[in-house]
Chain A
């Protein structure tokens, strides 16, 4: 009998094609936006978790400025004095100051503006370990390496027309550097296109003797990273006289990003839910109209033996089917949209690329949710249909 109801609901939907489709579109929009949103925020969540795994949990980043002004190349708000202050804080294992700027780089007579990244040669192995950066080919520079460069994964192929290789020489501000290492992919464009050179060389290039762009501090094992971050911030504030910097642990950074992502997901989710609600109201409206239109038909069905439960079932299945069709198409469009966002994310310059995976459970959830939503939206109209008195319904013009 359920099978008959499905068939009947389908023929009746086909009878009112335009209206059915308009109603279905409402559901498609709602479901598509929710599915796309969930898939994208899962992708972001995955990215954040991966970063977390790479970072380790003992890193503290100290940058000039505030949280929402990202570290720009060529900014120098901190100096060697700050490095000394941080080094003296108990619990700090080692400190790495960094210079981060743009410079002219030349290879095979092609000149480009590239990011150079000055790091001290000491602690470099530990830094590589703690940041999760790995060398794909060659090695990083040792203490006495001078005029050597380690390049990022993308710098190898993207920076110049000709690919860079180990032992190639490039000119930075007219001086010759030998490429001794190429890094594995880090995952964000900024880091992957860098040219890392020894700190002293970087100082010469940018002509700054004291200033640094960023300081990374690493905690000793067993030290509470968040407490240490607070302590470093306190000490720095004392010595600098004001809090014109941001100190953040890798843990806090991840938490911060997760929190921001969470808020964004919530807001977009709320908007998507509203569109779904509007879709559900659309179903309800369509079903009420359908009940009104088919009042005589309902009367006839009751006359030929349909019980109230039969009529209820027929209309619930119809509204559920509207939800189901909308849900199926909506899931397909939403998944497609999310995959598209993942596909174009590297060119969006977000600083990272999204990997979108569409889980089977998400597909099932979307379709099932739409079906149930449709049935719920149809509940009131279906009830009013089932309660019609056959004699009244038959008299209805």
Chain B
């Protein structure tokens, strides 16, 4: 059985204008991401991996080329339509956690469901479930500032899960954590991949983190340098 493609990038270019200078961040990227893949996007800083993440996450539209999400071109969608799709299909985990500081852990997890107009009863129940799943049942009513880095990242994973999206997109999820806490977070993502059958995309510059994935893409100067399913690719570099 051939797994279905969820996200497909076709000759994607992204060019930033810095004053009069045009800086190409992506130069003709082609990429197919299949359902239930665990994918790592790697590359040094300036390689365009952040830009690629924004494209894959429908947070930005390409200058040229097309991005198909479930066979629909996101470049042709209105901003609110994009927001709706992001909210339903993709769960984001950020390096700096990006929790809303004025809200409690529970409220942070509820927020994406509120934007999808999920009923209050249902979203409370689900938010509690997800916080339990990431092991934070006891700290639901704490504000982000009252939580450790690892706990915050677990809240943001619970938040990413809240609308039951197909794809979890994690941008340097362990970047602000010590290695032990980082490993816990990665194991949690692996768990979601295995048990919840989520498609996981991790953007990282760290080879150890990338080793959790079963497919690795290496970007350099806005182009895909390597794309493979073997753990040895990066080591051979």
Cβ of A70 within 8 Å of any chain B Cβ, yes or no, is no
- Cβ of A135 under 8 Å from chain B: no
**Which partner residue on chain B sits nearest A393 by CB separation?**
B59
Q: Are A304 and B112 in contact (CB under 8 A)?
A: yes
Q: What 1/0 flags go to A293-316 for Cβ under 8 Å of B?
A: 000110111111111111000000
Shortest A4–chain B CB gap in Å is 5
- Say whether A88 faces chain B, with CB atoms less than 8 Å apart: no
Let me know if A303 and B102 touch, CB within 8 A: no
**CA–CA, A390 and B82, complex, Å:** 11
Q: List 20 A-B contacts (CB under 8 A).
A: A1-B114, A1-B115, A4-B111, A11-B103, A11-B107, A15-B101, A15-B102, A300-B99, A300-B100, A301-B100, A303-B86, A304-B86, A304-B112, A304-B115, A304-B159, A306-B83, A306-B87, A307-B80, A307-B83, A308-B80
The reply to whether B88 and A305 form a contact with Cβ atoms under 8 Å apart is yes
- A394-B102 contact in complex given A302-B83, A304-B87, A310-B115, C-beta closer than 8 Å: no
Q: A303 to B89, alpha carbons, bound, how many Å?
A: 11
A305's partner among B98, B99, B110, B112 (CB-CB below 8 A) is B112
Q: How far is the CA of A304 from the CA of B118 in the complex (A)?
A: 14
Interchain CB contact under 8 A, A391 and B114? no
**Cβ-closest 3 pairs across A and B:** A305-B87, A391-B60, A307-B80
Question: Cβ of B110: which chain A residues have Cβ within 8 Å of it?
Answer: 4
Separation in Å of the B195 CB from the closest CB of chain A?
23
Contacts of A107 in B (CB 8 A): none
**Quick check: is B17 within 8 A (CB to CB) of the other chain?**
no
How many residues of chain B have a CB within 8 Å of chain A? 29
What residues of B have a CB within 8 angstroms of the CB of A297 in the complex? Answer: 98, 100-101
The reply on A12 being an interface residue by CB < 8 A is: yes
Given A14-B102, A391-B54: 17 more A-B contacts, CB < 8 Å: A1-B114, A1-B117, A8-B102, A8-B103, A302-B86, A303-B57, A303-B98, A304-B87, A304-B115, A305-B84, A308-B79, A308-B80, A308-B83, A310-B83, A390-B54, A390-B59, A394-B98
The docked-state distance in angstroms from the alpha carbon of A298 to that of B196 is 29
Chain B hits for A302, CB < 8 A: 59, 83, 86
A interface secondary structure, majority: helix
A391 touches B115 (CB 8 A): no
Q: Is A19 an interface residue (CB 8 A)?
A: no
B115's partner among A12, A15, A299, A305 (CB-CB below 8 A) is: A305
B41 to chain A, nearest CB (A): 16
Hey, which chain B residues are within 8 Å of A308, CB to CB?
Answer: 79-80, 83
Q: Does B179 contact A (CB under 8 A)?
A: no
A307–B83 Cα distance when bound, in Å, is 5
Of residues 280 through 304 on chain A, the ones whose CB sits less than 8 Å from some CB of chain B are 296-297, 299-304
Taking the complex as formed, is B92 at the interface, i.e. its CB lies under 8 A from any CB of chain A? yes
In residues 54-107 of chain B, which contact A (Cβ within 8 Å)?
A: 54, 57, 59-60, 79-80, 83-84, 86-88, 92, 94, 98-103, 107
CA distance in complex: A308, B84 (Å)? 11
**How distant is A391 from chain B, measured CB to nearest CB, in Å?**
4
A306 to B54, CA, bound (A): 16
Q: Which residues of B contact A208 (CB under 8 A)?
A: none
CB distance from A26 to the nearest CB of B (A): 23
Interface residues of A (CB under 8 A from B): 1, 4, 8, 11-12, 14-15, 296-297, 299-310, 389-391, 394
Using known A-B contacts A303-B59, A303-B92, determine if residue A11 contacts B102 with beta carbons closer than 8 Å: yes
* B163 CB within 8 Å of chain A: yes
B115/A306 in contact, CB under 8 A:
yes
Q: Name B186-221 residues within 8 Å CB distance of A.
A: none
- Chain B residues, CB < 8 A from A299: 98
Q: How far is the CB of B166 from chain A (nearest CB, A)?
A: 14
CB-defined contacts of B45 to chain A, threshold 8 Å: none
Residue ID in chain A nearest B87 by CB atoms: A305
- Residues of B close to A303: CB separation below 8 A: 57, 59, 86, 92, 98
Which residues on the A side are within 8 Å of B87 (C-beta)?
304-306
CB-based contact B59/A391 at 8 Å: yes
Asked whether, in the complex, the Cβ of B102 is within 8 Å of the Cβ of A12, the reply is: yes
Among residues of B, the one whose C-beta sits closest to the C-beta of A12 is: B102
Contact: B86 with A305, CB < 8 Å? yes
Q: What is the bound-complex CA distance between A305 and B88, given in angstroms?
A: 7
Whole-angstrom distance between the Cβ of B89 and the nearest chain A Cβ:
10
With a CB–CB cut-off of 8 A, which chain A residues contact B92? Answer: 300, 303-304
Count chain B CB atoms within 10 A of each CB in A14, A309, A389, A394 and give the residue with the most.
A394
CB of B15, distance to nearest CB on chain A (Å): 14
Which residues of the partner chain A approach B102 to less than 8 Å between Cβ atoms?
8, 11-12, 14-15
